[in-house]
């Protein structure tokens, strides 16, 4: 072994423990983490104490860290289903009393939970361990140039390949698509979660509707793909994460149109890992990141909506809120009139049935 290598190895052993004193936040990377960095970390009292690390979602790594007792992620940015499972399994620490006492209240003194309820959300066990972040949605978008005549504007149009010929881009897992198929089949968007939960055979109905476009589908599995597919003309419409479409419109000069009807709103949470090495500092940062001001600020950098209702007036009053003097509300998924034609995905139902439906969806794709 060369001398230099020895010195290097030695140094990495000696200095590694000191480097770990910052709060580590595992998040999804890309433009999303950048917006968190700007809205949450840069505005924090000690920005350099927050370090973001990329991961690909899911609780696999968190469970491995907690089970082996070597936790390196203090905070994890997760989907609601994972917030629920993580909290139930004790992978995330129950901090309900801390959230109640330390959480930044809204302008009328609303607690974090009340503020979320004002936004139409229902309590689930994820709320005990996690603080809210943003609403993001599965939305259909298209390039208006692809439709010189009439333009599609509903889920029924997305599923109508005779009226609007051309391929559709959809993702390789079932969340979001099942709900959209129900809307195309005539179910009121707001009623979709209830119908899926209560009505026997509702799922069969969704899959029958999916059959009608099956031969006209290009499947994608990573978030940047649907934009490439629509840009290159490979498909005429695609389901995408609305933040990606917003970024293309605002920052890259694209002119994509959204079909807000049948958009599927999903939630995003920041949770405290059990046994986090910098627990107290992480807790303090959580409260900062979930304040109405921080949530509104994030909309400046990515078109995802605040999960706390009191974040929205801050944006509305601050318009033009977007980059370069652009109004941001036209790109926000959770405006009142858009919520009327939206589905708020039910994380409890998905965490009950997700595995089975995804297997069925995969079988449907493969046959």
Partner 1 sequence: MPIGDMLLRSVDDSQINTVFPNTFEEYKKWDKEKDELPPEEVYKALFQELAYGDKIQVGRALTRMNYSKSGWKSLIKKTSRAIKKVVKKEEFPDSYKEFLIETNEKWADPTYWYAMGQMINNQTSIYYWNAIDRTFDQELNVVQQDEDRRVYVQTWLKTLKVSIYVTVFCLILGFPVAHLLANLPLRYSNLLMIFVLLPFWTSLLVRTTAWIVMLQQKGVINGVLVWLGILNDDGRIAMVYNETGTLIAMTQILLPFMILPLYSVMRVIPKSHMRAAQNLGAKPAMAFWRVYLPQTIPGMSAGGLLVFVLAIGYFITPELVGGKDGKLIGSWIAYHLKTTLNWGLTAALGAILLGFMLIFYWLYNKIVGIDNIKLG
Q: Which residues bind partner 1 (CB under 8 A)?
A: 56-61, 63, 85, 87-90, 125, 172, 207, 217-219, 221-222, 225, 228, 232-234, 348-349, 351-356, 358-360, 362-366
- Cα 92 from Cα 271, distance rounded (Å): 6
State how far the Cα of 43 lies from the Cα of 27, in Å rounded to an integer.
Answer: 18
Sequence-ordered list of residues with C-beta below 8 angstroms from that of 97, at least 6 positions apart, any chain = none
What contacts 204, CB < 8 A, 6 or more positions away? Answer: none
Q: In the structure encoding, which two tokens stand for residue 98, read together?
A: 């801390």
Residue 98 vs 153, nearer CB to partner 1: 98
Cα distances (Å, whole numbers) of residue 99 to 102, 266, 287, 306, 308 = 5, 22, 8, 18, 14
In the numeric block, the tokens 């504007």 are attached to 153
Q: How far is the CB of 176 from partner 1 (least distance, A)?
A: 15
Write down the least CB distance from residue 219 to partner 1, Å. 5
For partner 1, the closer CB: 20 or 363: 363
Comparison of 46 and 359: residue with beta carbon closer to partner 1? 359
Taking the least distance from each CB to partner 1, the nearer of 50 and 357 is 357
Least distance in angstroms from the C-beta of 357 to partner 1: 8
Write the DSSP symbol of residue 60: H
> What is the closest distance, in whole angstroms, from the C-beta atom of residue 279 to partner 1 in the complex?
17
| DSSP structural state of residue 273 | B
Hey, which residues does 171 pair with through a beta bridge? 220
Q: How does 293-305 read in b/e, with b if 16+ C-beta sit within 10 Å?
A: bbbbbbbbbbbbb
Helix (H) and strand (E) counts for the chain?
A: 17, 10
Q: Give min distance, CB of 296 to partner 1, in A.
A: 31
Rg over CA atoms, the chain: 22
Query: In this complex, which beta carbon is closest to partner 1, that of residue 39 or of residue 59?
Result: 59
CB-CB contact of 135 with 265 (8 Å) = yes
Query: Which is closer to partner 1, CB of 48 or CB of 221?
Result: 221
Task: State the minimum distance, in angstroms, from the CB of residue 90 to partner 1.
Answer: 3
Q: Of 293 and 348, which CB lies nearer to partner 1 in the complex structure?
A: 348
DSSP 127-184: GGTEEEEEEEEEEEEE-GGG-SSS---SHHHHT-TTTS-S-EEEESSSTTHHHHHHHH
Relative to beta strand 23-27, strand 75-78 is parallel
Residue 345 burial (CB < 10 Å; 0-12/13-18/19+)? buried
Residue 276 C-beta: closest distance to partner 1, Å: 16
CB of 146 to partner 1, least distance (A): 12
Closer residue to partner 1 in complex, CB, 79/134:
79
- In the complex with partner 1, which residue's Cβ is closer, 211 or 319? 211
Q: Whole-number minimum distance, CB 227 to partner 1, in Å? A: 13
Q: Which is nearer to partner 1, 83 or 339 (CB)?
A: 83
CB of 60 to partner 1, least distance (A): 4
Give CA–CA dist 358/342, Å, rounded: 22
């Amino acid at each position: 072994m060369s001398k230099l290598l020895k010195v290097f190895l030695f140094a990495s052993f000696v200095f590694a423990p000191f480097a770990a004193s910052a709060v580590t936040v595992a998040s999804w990377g890309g433009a999303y983490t950048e917006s968190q960095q700007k809205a949450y970390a840069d505005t924090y009292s000690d920005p350099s104490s927050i370090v973001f690390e990329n991961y690909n979602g899911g609780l696999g790594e968190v469970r491995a860290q907690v089970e082996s007792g070597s936790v390196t992620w203090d905070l994890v940015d997760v989907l609601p289903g994972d917030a629920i499972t993580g909290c139930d399994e004790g992978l995330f620490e129950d901090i309900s009393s801390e959230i109640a006492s330390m959480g930044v209240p809204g302008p009328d003194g609303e607690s974090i939970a009340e503020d979320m309820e004002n936004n139409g959300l229902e309590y689930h066990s994820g709320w005990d361990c996690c603080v809210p972040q943003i609403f993001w949605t599965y939305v259909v978008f298209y390039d208006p140039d692809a439709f010189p005549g009439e333009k599609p504007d509903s889920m029924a149009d997305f599923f109508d390949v005779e009226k609007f010929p051309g391929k559709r881009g959809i993702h390789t897992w079932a969340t979001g698509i099942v709900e959209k198929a129900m809307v195309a089949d005539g179910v009121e968007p707001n009623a979709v979660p209830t119908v899926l939960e209560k009505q026997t055979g509702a799922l069969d109905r969704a899959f029958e509707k999916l059959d009608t476009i099956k031969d006209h589908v290009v499947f994608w599995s990573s978030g940047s793909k649907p934009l490439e597919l629509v840009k290159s003309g490979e498909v005429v419409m695609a389901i995408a994460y609305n933040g990606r479409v917003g970024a293309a419109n605002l920052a890259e000069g694209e002119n994509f149109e959204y079909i807000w009807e049948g958009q599927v709103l999903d939630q995003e949470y920041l949770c405290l890992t059990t046994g986090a090495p910098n627990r107290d500092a992480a807790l303090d940062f959580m409260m900062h990141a979930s304040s109405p001001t921080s949530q509104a600020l994030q909309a400046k950098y990515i078109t995802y909506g605040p999960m706390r209702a009191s974040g929205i007036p801050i944006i509305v009053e601050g318009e033009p809120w977007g980059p370069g003097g652009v109004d941001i509300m036209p790109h926000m998924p959770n405006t009142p009139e858009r919520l009327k034609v939206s589905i708020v995905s039910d994380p409890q139902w998905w965490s009950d049935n997700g595995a089975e439906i995804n297997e069925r969806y995969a079988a449907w794709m493969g046959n």
